[in-house]
Structure 1
């Protein structure tokens, strides 16, 4: 539905339903504002959460035929 079609549909509603549409639009606006809150990330905040196995750089057994 295009913006123009949406506008036409809302324009043809009775006043009490237009008020409900307005309330719902306001609800959607506040809902999206809450989701956009992003805290600033700090460098090194995940330190110690990820561990690499000691043999990470070793060749894989699956590729022995190609080496």
Structure 2
């Protein structure tokens, strides 16, 4: 996890975004205090896959 000031973010944004894309987290500081975080996007979870699965099947008969 890298910690950078706002000025540095302005100069290194492309590099920092590449780090985030590879899974790292970047903390942005203003006057030494955390003001934001750059984090990688969440991957699709099992629940989203389960929803797709449920929509793809059809049920027959009466529920038990």
Fold match (TM-score > 0.5): no
Richer in helix (by share): 1
User: Normalising to structure 1: TM-score of the pair?
Assistant: 0.28
TM-score (norm 2): 0.28
Higher-RCO chain (CA-CA 8 Å, sequence separation at least 6): 2
> Rg: which structure is higher?
1
Richer in strand (by share): 2
